[in-house]
Structure 1
Amino acid sequence: MNAVNPVPLSVLDLSPVSEGSTVPQALHNTLDLARKVEAWGYKRYWVAEHHFVAVASSAPAVLVGAIAAATSTIRVGAAAVQLGHNTAIGVVESFGTLDALYPGRIDLGLGRSGQRRAEALAAGSAPEPAPRPTQIRDGLIIPPPFPTAKLLSSSRLATSFGLLQQPGAESPDFARQVEDILAFLDGTFTTPDGTDLHANPGEGADVEVWVFGSSAGPSAELAGRLGLPFGANYHVSPGTTVEAVEAYRAAFRPSSILRKPYVVVSADAVVADDDATARELASTYGHWTHSIRSGHGAIPYPDPETTPPLTDEQRELVEDRLVTQFVGSPGTVAERLDTLRRVTDADELVVTSVTHGHADRVRSYELLAREWGLARIRAA
């Protein structure tokens, strides 16, 4: 492609722990990658919140602070803090502290977690909708939506969520939590009995608040109604991303934060000097995704040199993620990313790239930055 593209690129990092490596090494790898992508002109560096799995991003506020301290200009944030096991005031105070230390650079992404599981349990044994065939929209693959009810109701997930909450606690209403966070930030929060409470740190913080979602559901509608920027997860739920973006735009109301919709869309990508090398580096992505989809949680990222191919049964569970991972040379991946941008009309793309070797992951982002035409790469 080798042209200046119309939207920025950002990074989503899970701080993956590779097979044979350690959590400390994964965290040091994150700091190293953050410094490099800042130098290459990426706009944001986001971390995702996950627990009880082989990724090291389980404490996003702590990790965001470490990344912000290791960099100087790139925006840093969470994508997303899972509100199902966090309180509104706890989130505001944590990210307000970060903003006080690194003003004007902090993003606060908000996502449902315990709420989604509660909804799945409430649905009980309701049948999943009949799967639709894979669609191709202007070159973008839109596979059938992955049925999540079985995964969300798994006993392992139930145990995990139970440990993330106080005994007897219930996940509060997501919309109410988001509204409380906004009220704490702008100093308008009031309790039902009129008690005057203020978040310190937090009130007045220059934190950019985002809502993340995977479908045309409550998250997309809420982000639109409140006039917040919206993150759509093509890398997690490629079958429902387009409809999520459409629902957000349909619900959007101008606010003091945004006058018009702003959408970032995620993609999983592995870039190498040529297509064959990239395919080899990405050859264990399916195994890693299968460990998540099967309810066992993300395993240490497998080594392509020692990992046998997926079985047909394993591949069937993750086929939608495999066909929508962007793998190849810089030109190949940039072209597919531009297709995603065009079909979703995204204002920004956020790329998550996971490989077994840290150097390969760094190289992936470097090659993509150069091909996409990021300003600092062009000037180098």
Structure 2
Amino acid sequence: MTVPLSVLDLVPIPAGGTAPQAVRNTLDLARRTEAAGYRRYWLAEHHLAPGVASSAPQVLIGAVAAATSRLRVGSGAVQTGHWTPLAVAEQFATLDALYPGRIDLGLGRSGQRRAEALRRADSPPPPREARVVDGLLLPKPYDFGPLLAKSAGFALLTTLLQQPGAESPDFADVVDDIVRLLTGAYESPDGHRAQAVPGEGADLALWILGSSGGQSARVAGERGLPFAANYHVSPANVVEAVEAYRAAFKPSDVLDEPYVVVSADVVAAPTDEEARLLASPYGLWVRSIRTSLAAIPYPTEADAAAHEWTAEDRALVADRVDTQFVGSPETVAAGLETLRRVTGADELLVTTITHDHADRVRSYELLAEAWA
């Protein structure tokens, strides 16, 4: 049985485009992917990025749900370091009240304190070389720690998204508090109950997203929740992430057995050659993220051709460029089948960015036809 495909949308702004145009493109893409048979449509959360307009996914989720009729719509993922559990529960329960039974609440650890980034910079992960597992490339890991620790942009992001003096609680505590608020079981340490309105009784599907075999995978498994592993963000760690989740899994009221979604970067076109051309700006775009933490507006193919790549540049983006699935629909489908087989994914979450919106829509449509 073919596993379902879903969509992860960063609401990219193309070079020469605008944020309002990018948002309108998202609504068009949602309608077109629904017609093509995709199961879910998730919106990412990013801030202060000139090339990404998904800074308010809760708002966009409502707009996408209103523009479609069948798709499940959700967050991929809420940056829990920037939100209180009550705010998350109320916002997503309100969405469920408007579009009952169609809302996914995806939670991630992004947005944690700058101190955590400093600790990571002081204690980098042990080096590991690239390897191929049953046909799937697991590249050399990329460590964001030093960049986060030094980045003025990351410090500014923390300042703008958190109240002065605020500290992000432990991720497991955040997840548990959200569950308690949605089930009516929240009680303060001194015995006072809190009722989220809307909130209690909402028909939300709760997901955990993660990029490694660390806390996110363990929290998802121990609480019996579905887990989304990010091959598109951290391809080196995808196998250990899903293995850690399955090892920690305990049956719950939500799931009897583990359920894994794995994300992938994809560009499909009628031919391999055309797809490679459309995907050529991707490395330049990833480079902007890894040098400044702020994605630039998505470049044109001409921009990519004009860039003078150094060996250092290529090494900086190699893990992401080498693990992007690019080619004809048949080529891409074969690559995604390898990803599914190696990870045991129950569902694949596809994210596609091209400079021209029409090429992006066509990529999703071609892939859906080939996958089916």
Please classify the TM superposition score into its range, dividing by the shorter chain length.
over 0.9
Distance 1:117 1:321 in 2: 25
For the 8 Å contact 2:86–2:181, the answer to whether it is kept is yes
* 1:109 corresponds to 2:106: yes
- Report the number of matched residues: 368
* 1:44 corresponds to 2:43: no
CA drift at 1:296: 4.0
Q: How does 1:355-366 map to 2 (within 5 A)?
A: 355-366=354-365
Moved more, 114-123 or 73-82: 114-123
* Letter of the 1:38 counterpart: E
Match of 1:279 in 2: 276
Match of 2:3 in 1: 7
2:67 pairs with one of 50, 56, 70: 70
Give the SS at the match of 1:168: coil
CA drift at 1:293: 1.1
Match of 1:268 in 2: 265
For the 8 Å contact 2:132–2:138, the answer to whether it is kept is yes
* Letter of the 1:311 counterpart: T
Give the SS at the match of 2:63: helix
* Letter of the 2:344 counterpart: D
Deviations 1:277-317 (A, max 9, x none): 00000000000011111124100000112332433221110
Deviations 1:323-346 (A, max 9, x none): 100000000000000000000000
258 and 302 in structure 1: CA distance in 2 versus 1, 3 angstrom threshold: same
Match of 1:166 in 2: 163
Distance 1:100 1:161 in 2: 31
CA drift at 1:134: 1.1
Give the SS at the match of 2:93: helix
Distance 1:130 1:344 in 2: 23
For the 8 Å contact 2:118–2:146, the answer to whether it is kept is no
Distance 2:182 2:115 in 1: 28
Q: How does 1:269-348 map to 2 (within 5 A)?
A: 269-307=266-304, 308-309=306-307, 310-348=309-347
290 and 131 in structure 1: CA distance in 2 versus 1, 3 angstrom threshold: same
Distance 1:129 1:72 in 2: 44
Aligned identity (percent) is: 62
CA drift at 1:117: 4.3
Deviations 1:101-124 (A, max 9, x none): 000000000001232743222345
* 1:81 corresponds to 2:78: yes
Give the SS at the match of 1:269: strand
CA drift at 1:196: 1.6
**What TM-score, normalized to structure 1?**
0.95
Deviations 1:70-100 (A, max 9, x none): 0011000000000001000000100000000
2:233 pairs with one of 236, 242, 245: 236
Match of 1:376 in 2: none
Deviations 1:144-166 (A, max 9, x none): 11112112212211111111001
Give the SS at the match of 1:306: helix
Distance 2:194 2:358 in 1: 48
1:138 pairs with one of 134, 137, 144: 134
Match of 1:61 in 2: 58
Distance 1:364 1:312 in 2: 30
Give the SS at the match of 1:73: coil
1:216 pairs with one of 201, 213, 217: 213
Moved more, 288-297 or 335-344: 288-297
Deviations 1:10-52 (A, max 9, x none): 0000000000000000000000000010011100000000000
Distance 1:197 1:306 in 2: 54
For the 8 Å contact 2:120–2:146, the answer to whether it is kept is no
Give the SS at the match of 2:153: helix
Q: Which runs of 5 or more residues in structure 1 are unaligned?
A: 374-380
* Letter of the 2:60 counterpart: L
Q: After the TM superposition, which segments of 4 or more aligned residues of structure 1 sit over 4 Å from their partners?
A: none
Give the SS at the match of 2:180: helix
Distance 1:72 1:124 in 2: 45
CA drift at 1:257: 0.6
Moved more, 223-232 or 109-118: 109-118
2:118 pairs with one of 108, 112, 121: 121
* 1:95 corresponds to 2:72: no
Distance 2:137 2:293 in 1: 27
